[in-house]
Structure 1
Amino acid sequence: MEWGRLIGLMQTKSGGPFYIIGWDFGEGDASKMNSFLNSRSPLSVTNDPEFDRLAAQAAGEMDEAKRADDWKAAQKLVHDRYYIAAVWQAASIYGFSKRLQWDARFGDNFDLATVKVSAK
């Protein structure tokens, strides 16, 4: 399905009881789930006052350790109520050949200019 159509279905809540979201949590902040689980969000798939309360509490917390604990409580609730099914996909997938002279390193971009191909 095309992303624009999927977003439209999510906004009108006509995409079914669940959807797969492909956005990365690369910034590492747990508040990202607020965009699709908070009842006030136009993309929300839930209406859960307890999640909303926990998310608001975490958002207003300035102490880093307490904020982390608040988000852990919110994530436990999400897990226990099965709002999200965790699916993982590797950010990079590599193939290898004895003809290629290249070392894959975690976190590197794949730069074809650095790959050397031997004759055989």
Structure 2
Amino acid sequence: MVRILETIGWQEVKTEVGKYYWCEKEERCQSKPPLYEVLGLLSAPSSDGAHTRHQIFKAYQEKLAEFGEDTGSKDLLLEAYTTLTDVEARAVYDCSTTSEAARNAAAGLTARHLSTIKCEPIYVPPEETPAPEEGG
């Protein structure tokens, strides 16, 4: 379990063919990790609509100080930093999480996830039959 994901309300879900990310609070999935959220970049970005390289670096350093001892968190923070500071990688990531195709794929993942967790059979113990009365 990646500690930083837990603290922001996400979890990594492994499947037979890979993994995806689930946010219970928002009841949604996505195929890529929530990199902006991992760095705590939920506030309004700069006027050009994107977080600056300096903002990303500062957020990375702060989160690394907090979660650097957890290997999974450290790896995810590095992925977030390297992806979001590289113009091309960031554009690919943004497209993979916000395009219409990505939203449709996420809706499918979410439906699959919800059907998996909400349709598990519930065990109902059989009713006990009363013992026969003696002397009857």
TM-score range, shorter chain: under 0.3
TM-score, normalised relative to structure 2: 0.23
Q: Which has the higher contact order (CA 8 A, sep 6+)?
A: 2
Higher-Rg structure is 2
Name the one with the larger strand percent: 2
TM-score, normalised relative to structure 1: 0.25
